Amino acid sequence: MMYNVRLKMETPRNTRNSNQNGNKNYLFKIQAGAFVGHHNSLTMLQHPLRPSLEKLDGSAFELYANRQVFHHGQILLVIASSTSNLVWTPNSRAGTGAGQAIVAANEQVLCWDIKKGELLSRWRDEKCSSPVTAIARSKADPDIFAVGYDDGSIRLWDSKIAATIVSFNGHRSAITVLTFDKSGARLASGSRDTDVIIWDLVAEVGQVKLRGHKDQVTGVRFVEPDPVVQDADDSEEAMAVDTESEAEGFLLTTGKDSLIKLWDLSSRHCIETHIAQSNGECWALGLSPDYSGCVTAGNGGELKVWSLDTLALAASSQQVDATHTTKYLQDRGTLIRKSNDRGTEIVFHPRRDYFAVHGPEKAVEVWRIRPEAEIKKVLARKRRRRREKLDKKAGADADADAAEDAEDVSSATVSDVFVHYVTVRTSGKVRSIDWAVNGGVKDLQLVDKSSKSKDEAPDYAKSLAVELPGHRADVRALSLSSDDKMLASAANGSLKIWNVRTQMCIRTFECGYALCCAFLPGDKVVVVGTKAGELQLFDVASASLLDSVTAHEGAVWSLQVHPDGRSMASGSADKSVKLWNFQIVQEEVLGTTRTTPRLKLAQSKVLKLTDDVFFVDTLKLYLNLYGHKLPVLSMDISYDSKLIITSSADKNIRIWGLDFGDCHKALFGHQDSILQVAFVPHNSDGNGHHFFSSSKDRSIKYWDGDKFEQIQRLDGHHGEVWALAVGHSGQFLVSAGHDKGIIVWDETEEQIFLEEEREKEIEELYESTLTASLEKDEDAGDKEAETAAASKQTVETLMAGERIAEALEMGMADLNL
CATH number for 706: 2.130.10.10
Q: How confident is the model at residue 541 (pLDDT cuts 50, 70, 90)?
A: confident
Inform me whether the pLDDT recorded for 757 exceeds 60: yes
Q: Cα–Cα distances in Å, from 184 out to 74, 170, 196, 483?
A: 34, 20, 18, 53
Lowest mean pLDDT of 3-12, 52-61, 610-619, 650-659, name the range.
Answer: 52-61
Is residue 533 included in any domain, yes or no? yes
What confidence score (pLDDT) does residue 616 get? 62
For 94-132, write each residue's pLDDT tens digit: 444 678 889 988 888 999 888 888 888 889 888 888 899
- Give domain status of residue 700, yes or no: yes
% residues pLDDT > 90 (the chain): 23
- 745, 761, 777 - which closes a domain: 761
pLDDT in tens, 209-218: 999 899 999 9
DSSP structure string for 106-130: TTEEEEEETTTTEEEEEE--TT--S
pLDDT band at 323 (very low <50, low <70, confident <90, very high): low
What is the spatial distance between Cα 643 and Cα 705, in angstroms, rounded to a whole number?
9
Q: Given 392, 427, 442, which residue is the final one in a domain? A: 442
Does any domain span residue 425?
yes
189 in a domain, yes or no? Answer: no
- Residue 445: the pLDDT is 56
**Nearest Cα to Cα of residue 630 among 614, 645, 644, 647:** 647
Quote the pTM value. Answer: 0.73
Instruction: Give the Cα separation of 169 and 155 in Å (integer).
Output: 9
The rounded mean pLDDT for the chain is 77
Does residue 490 sit in the same domain as residue 635?
yes
Strand partners, 102: 87, 111
Q: What is the per-residue pLDDT for 189?
A: 95
- CATH number of the domain at 343, please: 2.40.128.630
327 and 218 together in one domain: yes
Mean pLDDT in residue range 34-61: 29
pLDDT of residue 106: 83
Other C-beta atoms lying within 10 Å of the C-beta of residue 250 = 26
Among 340-354, 499-513, 678-692, the range scoring the smallest mean pLDDT is 678-692
More confident residue, 58 or 676: 676
Task: Say yes or no: 394 and 528 in one domain.
Answer: no
Same domain for 423 and 274?
Answer: yes
Question: Is there a contact between 464 and 115 (Cβ–Cβ < 8 Å)?
Answer: yes
- Of the two residues 677 and 763, the one the predictor is more confident about is 677
Domain match, 669 and 575 both:
yes
The DSSP secondary structure of 198-261, one letter per residue, reads EEETTTTEEEEEEE--SS-EEEEEEE-PPPPEEEPTT-SSEEEPP-TT----EEEEEETTSEEE
Find the range with the poorest average confidence among 36-45, 181-190, 214-223: 36-45
Whether residue 303 contacts residue 334, with contact meaning beta carbons closer than 8 Å, is answered with: yes
Residue 754 backbone phi and psi in degrees, to 5? -65, -40
Which is it for strands 610-615 and 621-626: parallel, antiparallel or unpaired? Answer: antiparallel
Residues 359 and 494 occupy one common structural domain: no
Do both 697 and 778 map to the same domain?
no
Counting the structural domains of the chain, the total is 3
560 and 421 within one domain: no
Alpha-carbon distance of 685 to 677, in angstroms, equals 20
Each residue's pLDDT tens digit, 497-537: 998 888 888 888 989 999 999 998 888 889 999 999 999 99
Is residue 141 domain-resident? no
**Domain-located, residue 696:** yes
Per-residue pLDDT, 580: 82
Q: Of 328 and 687, which is predicted with more confidence? A: 328
| 348 shares a domain with 482 | no
Are residues 414 and 481 both part of a single domain? no
Instruction: Say if residue 508 is in the same domain as residue 427.
Output: no
Residue 582 belongs to what domain range? Answer: 3-11+28-75+469-761
User: 564 and 597 in contact (C-beta within 8 Å)?
Assistant: yes
Binning pLDDT at 50, 70 and 90, where does residue 225 land?
A: confident
**For residue range 425-441, what is the model confidence (pLDDT) as tens digits?**
888 888 888 888 775 55
pLDDT band at 602 (very low <50, low <70, confident <90, very high): very low
Strands (E), 370-485: 418-425, 475-480
Tell me phi and psi for residue 21, to 5 degrees: -100, 10
Pair 514, 650 in one domain: yes
pLDDT above 50 for 590: no
* Of the residues 746, 761, 776, the one at which a domain ends: 761
Q: Is the pLDDT of residue 145 over 90?
A: yes
Residue 372, domain member (yes or no)? yes
Query: For 276-300, what is each residue's pLDDT tens digit?
Result: 888 888 999 999 998 989 999 999 8
